[in-house]
Structure 1
Amino acid sequence: MTYTQGTTERIPPRQFHETAGLEDWRVLGEGACAHFRTGSLAAGAGLVRAISELPGAGAGHPDIDVRHDGVTVRLITLTDDFYGLSERDVELARRISEVARALGLTADPSAVQTVQVTVDALEGPEVVRFWRALLGYADRAKSPEDLIDPHRRGAPFYFQRMDTPRPQRNRMHVDVWVPYDQAEARIAAAVAAGGRLVSDAHAPSHWVLADPEGNEACVGTAGWTGPEPTRR
C-alpha cells in the first residue's frame, strides 16, 4: 500500500505538536488523532462530507470513525518503507480543524487513544508468521516486528525480540497510547483501581503497570516534553 499524494517529508511527533493550528490533535502510537463532538449522527455525517471535499483527502487518507455523538479522525502516512507522520498530515489536520470549527464543532483531545498488543518472541519470524495468518494482517512498512490490520481497524501487533524466556512474567501485554497530557491521569486511575506502577524508567515515553495479579501493560505517549517513544 503506497500513498503518494502530497508531500511525504517525515516529521517527528514533537514537531507535529509544536505546529500552530494543530491544538485539536494528539499524536498516538498509530498516527495523529482528533475527536470532534457532534451530538448527532447527522452532524457527524456533515463533517465527514466536508472532510471528503478537502484537498489531500482520499486514497485511504484519513481514517474516520463515525459514531452517534462524535467523529474520530486519524492521519498517518503509509509508504513502502515508512509508517508515521509527514508534512501531508500537518496540512490536512489543519484543514480538518478549520472545517470542524466552521460547522460549530468542538474537539475533545482527551477522547483519543490507540491500543497495541505486544508479544514477547524467542523465535520472531515463526511467531510473526503464525499471527499474520491467524489475524489476516500484513507487515508494517517492511518491519519484521510489526503487523497491522490492512483495513486499519484492529489493534496492531508488535513482536518484541527476547533472547531468553522471562519466567513469572506474561509473554503478551497491551500498550495503551494516550495523549501526552492525559498519561498521568490515566496511570493514577489504573493505580487507584488496584494496579501498581512497575517502572517509570522511560517516562514520559512510557510507564509499565501491572494489574492485581501481576499482568503487565504499558501506558505510552508520543513526544512532547520527553524523548521519542521507545517500545518496551
Structure 2
Amino acid sequence: MTYGESGTERIRPHQFHETVGVEDWRVVGEGACAYFSTGSFAISAQFVQAVSEMPGVGDEYPDVDVRQKGVLVRLITVKDDYYGLTERHVELARQISAVARALDIPADPSAVQTVQITIDALARPGVVAFWRALLNYEYRANSDEDLLDPHRRGAPFYFQRMDAPRPQRNRVHVDVWVPYDQAEARIAAALAAGGRLVNDADAPSNWVLADPEGNEACLGVAGAPSHPEPLA
C-alpha cells in the first residue's frame, strides 16, 4: 500500500475531528482513540470479536486494550516512513462506533489520554542511544529524537534538545495528551490539587504545569476542530 491510494492520504488531527461520524473519538499523542464502557470482561471480549470480524479492515487493524470494564481502541499507521493518521482511519472509526452502538456499548471520550516521557538532553544522540538500548525501543518513523515501544504498550519517549544546562529545573518530565474538550477541566483539577501554571504561551495546544515542589509536566491537545460545523 502506498500513500496516495484511496483512503491512505495522510490527515492532520483537526481534519479527523472535523469529519462527520467520529464523535466517539479523540486524537491524542498516539493516534485517534476511543474508549467504550462495556461494564464486563465478557462484553469487552464480545465487542473485540465483533470488531475483528468487520469487513475490509485489511492491514489497518486497530490497537485494542481489553479490560474488565471497557475497551480502548487506537487507530494509527505505523510504517518506516510515516507515523500518524490517514483517511482510512476515519472510516474505521465510523465502523467501530457502529459496532459499539449495535451492542449498546457507550463511548466515553473523556477516558482517553496518552502519556509521554520527555528528556532534555545536551548531547542528544548519546542519551537517545542509552535509552533505546535500556528500553529495547525503536525510533519513530523519520525521527532520531523519538523512541517507541515496538509492542506499542509502553509510553513513548521524546528527547528535547538543550543548548545549555538549566539548574533548578527537572530535565525529565511527563507529557500528558488529553482530548481537546478535556484540557480545561484537567488543568483546573491539577491547579486545585496544589499545582501551578508555569507557562501558557502555547495555549490552547500546550500548557506547562508544576507540582508543589516545582517538578514540571506538560499538558497538550491535538487538533481541536476549527470549523463550527463538521465536514462531510
User: With structure 1 as the length reference, what TM-score do the two structures score?
Assistant: 0.93
After superposition, the C-alpha distances for 1:131-150 in whole angstroms (9 at most, x for unaligned) are 00000100000301100000
Cross-structure match for 2:103: 103
Contact kept, 8 Å, 1:8 with 1:77, in 2: the verdict is: no
Contact kept, 8 Å, 1:38 with 1:69, in 2: the verdict is: yes
Q: Relative to structure 2, which stretch is displaced further, 52-61 or 42-51?
A: 52-61
Cross-structure match for 1:218: 218
Give the partner amino acid of 1:205: S
Give the partner amino acid of 2:129: R
Give the partner amino acid of 1:73: V
Alpha-carbon separation, structure 1, partners of 2:26 and 2:80: 25
Give the partner amino acid of 2:162: M
Alpha-carbon separation, structure 2, partners of 1:172 and 1:59: 36
Cross-structure match for 1:13: 13
Cross-structure match for 2:176: 176
Q: 1:225 to 1:94 in 2, by over 3 A?
A: closer
**2:64 equivalent to 1:53:** no
Cross-structure match for 1:76: 76
Alpha-carbon separation, structure 1, partners of 2:63 and 2:196: 34
Alpha-carbon separation, structure 2, partners of 1:58 and 1:68: 27
Structure 2 SS opposite 1:85:
strand
**Correspondence 1:130-149 to 2 at 5 A:** 130-149=130-149
Alpha-carbon separation, structure 2, partners of 1:123 and 1:208: 24
Alpha-carbon separation, structure 2, partners of 1:33 and 1:117: 19
Cross-structure match for 2:29: 29
Q: 1:149 to 1:81 in 2, by over 3 A?
A: same
Cross-structure match for 1:160: 160
The percentage of aligned residue pairs carrying the same residue is 72
Contact kept, 8 Å, 2:17 with 2:225, in 1: the verdict is: no
Q: 1:154 to 1:46 in 2, by over 3 A?
A: same
Contact kept, 8 Å, 1:52 with 1:58, in 2: the verdict is: no
User: With structure 2 as the length reference, what TM-score do the two structures score?
Assistant: 0.93
**2:96 equivalent to 1:121:** no
Structure 2 SS opposite 1:190:
helix
- The alpha carbon displacement at 1:59 in A equals 4.4
Cross-structure match for 1:230: none
Structure 2 SS opposite 1:20:
coil
Give the partner amino acid of 1:175: D
Q: 1:56 to 1:155 in 2, by over 3 A?
A: farther
Give the partner amino acid of 1:96: I
Give the partner amino acid of 2:125: P
Alpha-carbon separation, structure 2, partners of 1:173 and 1:38: 33
- The alpha carbon displacement at 1:56 in A equals 4.3
Q: Which runs of 4+ in 1 moved over 4 A?
A: 2-6
Cross-structure match for 1:229: none
Aligned length: 225
Give the partner amino acid of 2:61: H
- The alpha carbon displacement at 1:166 in A equals 1.1
Alpha-carbon separation, structure 1, partners of 2:109 and 2:199: 26
- The alpha carbon displacement at 1:3 in A equals 9.4
Give the partner amino acid of 1:30: E
After superposition, the C-alpha distances for 1:79-116 in whole angstroms (9 at most, x for unaligned) are 21111111111111110001110111100000010000
Structure 2 unpaired stretches of 5+: 227-232
